[in-house]
Amino acid sequence: MALVFFTTCHRENQGESMEGKASQKVFTVHGHDEAAKHAVARFIERLGLEAIILDEQSGGLQAIIDKFEEQAENIVFAIILLTPDDVGAAKAEQNELQPRARQNVILELGYFIGKLDRNQICLLYKRGVELPSDILGLSYVLMDDHDGWQLKLAREMKRAKLPIDANKLL
C-alpha cells in the first residue's frame, strides 16, 4: 500500500526574525529511537520553546497525514532525527545493507523542505546512519553520546533567528 499525498506549501516569513513571533513551535520528526526522541524534546523545552512530537499530540480519529499537516502548520523550525531504525541498499548492492532512517522520516523531511526555508531545518543524525543524498544546503549535526550536539543544534536554531539563550543548556 502506498501513501501518496499532494500539498501546496508556501514559504512564509522568509528572512524575517522569528523573535517576537507568536509561534515558538519546533517539530521533531523521528523514527523508533525513543531515547533520542525524548532527549531532543527535553532539549527544545529547556530552550523555552514548544516541542511538537506527532505521536504525543492529540488527534482522535484523524488520519495520520491530516494530524501531521495540522501540527506542522505553525512551526518555526524542524529537527529531523535520523536514527538507524531500518536498513537498505541500492539494488546493485543488496549485500551491503546500510543503517537508514525510517521512510516516514524521509517523507516528512521532504514536506518540510517544501514548507520551510532551508535554515529552518536541521538534520540531527546518529553516527553510521546513511544520510539522504542530493540535499545540499541543509544543516547536519551529529548526535554524539556526550551531548555536544545540543550546543551545535542551538547554534543552528539561533541562525534561523529563534530566540535562543544557550545559557539555558547549562
What does the pLDDT read at residue 169? 87
- Number of domains within the chain: 1
Q: What is the pTM of this model?
A: 0.85
Q: Are 132 and 92 a contacting pair, CB within 8 Å?
A: no
Residues in Cβ contact with 163 at an 8 Å cutoff, skipping those fewer than 6 apart? 18, 19, 24, 48
Query: Residue 80 belongs to a domain with what CATH number?
Result: 3.40.50
Tell me whether residue 108 is in a domain: no
Tell me whether residue 92 is in a domain: yes
Is the pLDDT confidence value at 14 over 70? Answer: no
Tell me whether residue 166 is in a domain: no
What does the pLDDT read at residue 3? 33
Tell me whether residue 59 is in a domain: yes
Tell me whether residue 23 is in a domain: no
* Residue in 35, 32, 39 with CA at minimum distance from that of residue 100: 32
Q: Measured between alpha carbons, how far is 160 from 68 in angstroms, rounded to an integer?
A: 22
Tell me whether residue 24 is in a domain: no
> Mind listing the pLDDT tens digit for each residue in 32-71?
999 999 999 999 999 999 999 988 887 778 888 998 999 9
Residues in Cβ contact with 146 at an 8 Å cutoff, skipping those fewer than 6 apart? none
What does the pLDDT read at residue 13? 42
What does the pLDDT read at residue 57? 82
Domain hosting residue 135, numbered range: 34-100+113-161
C-alpha cell at 125: 543524525
Dihedral sign computed on CA atoms, order 153, 44, 160, 6: positive
Residues in Cβ contact with 81 at an 8 Å cutoff, skipping those fewer than 6 apart? 28, 29, 30, 31, 33, 36, 37, 40, 101, 105, 124, 125, 143
What does the pLDDT read at residue 96? 93
What does the pLDDT read at residue 142? 97
Tell me whether residue 132 is in a domain: yes
Is the pLDDT confidence value at 170 over 90? Answer: no
Tell me whether residue 1 is in a domain: no
